[in-house]
Amino acid sequence: MSQLHVINHPMVQHKLTIMRDKETGSKDFRELLKEIAMLMGYEVTRDIALEDVCIETPICKMTAKRVSGRKLAIVPILRAGLGLVDGLLTLVPVAKVGHIGLYRNEETHKPVVYYCKLPEDIQGRMVILTDPMLATGGSACDAIVMLKERGCTNIRLMCLVAAPDGVAKVQAEHPDVDIYVAAVDDHLNENAYIVPGLGDAGDRIFGTK
């Protein structure tokens, strides 16, 4: 069974509260999302591979640890997942970035694929799949299938807000994928929006409504 990690650090919770507020505009929403991504990134990358490197301090030579950033890929689900990329790149600047384009059909709520461009060597990398919202879980599950079809075996899903339904679906269909969230909310409404949630993440990031 995949693990659900709820990152309840006070700074993450504080920033998320501001993001949920409907009075918060796109500029602040984007900045807060970037900051939260960086903070959550500490937990998501907690067991990232380290390699030995020989360096010389002002005092003597030593063998020290260095993150092997070449082993990481960040894959946002377009559009809203883009909002989490910069914060993660601040942590691991040499990570490669792939893109999966999915949108939910407004009537069926089922995801529709419209784009996929991934690093050529993605199968050898730890993949952090990003999307602020895990609602029914349909988009995340389809994106995970696309990554697995490309040979990925080490996938983590990083979201901001999840519904219990989305968590259950990912855990049932992809028990090998750990999920990182800042909050698990109460339920989905009749339009499959998370309640209380924060509204439409893509629209709030890009100011499209």
* Residue whose pair of structure tokens reads 């919770």 in the numeric block: 13
Angle, nearest 10°, between helix axes 138-149 and 164-173? 20
**Contact between 111 and 139 (Cβ < 8 Å):** yes
Rank residues 89 and 135 by Cβ distance to ligand URA and give the closer one: 135
Q: Which of 70, 104, 150, 165 is catalytic?
A: 104
- Which residue out of 17, 90, 108, 208 is catalytically annotated? 108
d(C-alpha 17, C-alpha 42), whole Å: 20
Spatial contact of 60 and 82, defined as CB atoms under 8 Å apart: no
Residue located via tokens 């990554």: 147
Site string for ligand URA, 78-107 (x = CB under 6 A): --x---------------------------
Q: Are 160 and 29 in contact (CB under 8 A)?
A: no
- Is 86 tagged catalytic? no
* 83 binds ligand PRP per the rule CB under 6 A: no
Site residues for ligand PRP, window 106-125 (CB under 6 A)? 109, 111
> Do the bridges between strand 99-104 and strand 111-117 make them parallel or antiparallel, or are there none, so unpaired?
antiparallel
For position 37 contacting ligand URA by CB under 6 A, the verdict is: no
Joined together, the tokens standing for residue 132 give 């602020």
Report angle CA 83, 78, 107 to the nearest 5 degrees. 120
Is residue 66 within 8 A of residue 51, CB to CB? The reply is yes
Piece in contact with ligand PRP (CB under 6 A), picked from 11-19, 71-79, 92-100, 148-156 = 71-79
Out of 131, 178, 197, 204, point to the residue binding ligand PRP (CB under 6 A): 131
Q: Applying CB under 6 A, what is the total number of residues that bind ligand PRP? A: 24
Q: Write out the binding residues for ligand URA, residues 142-201 only, by CB under 6 A.
A: 193-194, 197, 200-201
How many angstroms from the chain centroid is the CA of residue 82? Answer: 9
Q: How far is the CB of 131 from ligand URA (least distance, A)?
A: 9
Site for ligand URA in 112-151 (CB under 6 A): 133, 135
Note whether 135 binds ligand PRP by CB under 6 A.
yes
Closest of 32, 38, 34, 40 to residue 6, by C-alpha: 40
Smallest separation (angstroms) from ligand URA to the CB of 112: 14
Binding site for ligand PRP (CB under 6 A): 77-80, 102-104, 109, 111, 131-140, 166, 192, 200-202
Mind telling me the catalytic residues? 104, 108, 200, 203
